[in-house]
């Protein structure tokens, strides 16, 4: 099965990003495909490479980056939501791309299921 993931919350506000990450890992382990992850609203905060996380805490952005490298998952950051939050191309982490809402529409069409993670 092909899953699309939509993340609407920032990395440390709620457990949405952690839950989405764990869902993606579990789906891949069961043989499913993650076609794309779309970061929207405060979810765009997951994409910044400016995170400075304490050593004893999880680094959510690095987790997402590693997962993308391992499995070739495409990450799209909504351009409008990113601009509202001061996130520009220069500070977007590796394997994250800025794109428009049309890519979310494409994801909903291409995936068998679109799973949304929010508070």
List for the chain the helix, strand, coil content (%; round to 5). 45, 25, 30
Residue with the bigger pLDDT between 56 and 106: it is: 106
Positions annotated as catalytic residues are 78
Non-local (6+) Cβ contacts of 74 within 8 A are 35, 36, 37, 68, 97
70-102 pLDDT tens trace: 999 999 999 999 999 999 999 999 999 999 999
Q: Which helix (H) or strand (E) holds 70?
A: helix 60-71
CATH code for the domain in which residue 12 is found: 3.40.1260.10
**How many structural domains are present in the chain?**
1
Q: What percent of the chain has pLDDT over 70?
A: 100
Domain containing residue 103: 2-117
29-72 pLDDT tens trace: 999 999 999 999 999 999 999 987 788 778 899 999 999 999 99
């Amino acid at each position: 099965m092909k899953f699309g993931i939509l993340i609407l919350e920032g990395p440390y506000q709620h457990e949405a990003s952690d839950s989405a990450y764990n869902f993606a890992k579990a789906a891949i382990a069961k043989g499913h495909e993650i076609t794309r992850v779309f970061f929207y609203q405060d979810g765009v905060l997951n994409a910044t490479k400016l995170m400075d996380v304490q050593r004893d805490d999880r680094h959510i952005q690095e987790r997402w980056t590693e997962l993308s490298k391992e499995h070739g998952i495409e990450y799209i950051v909504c351009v409008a939501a990113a601009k509202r939050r001061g996130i520009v191309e220069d500070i977007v982490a590796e394997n994250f791309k800025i794109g428009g809402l049309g890519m979310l529409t494409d994801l909903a069409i291409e995936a068998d299921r679109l799973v949304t993670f929010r508070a």
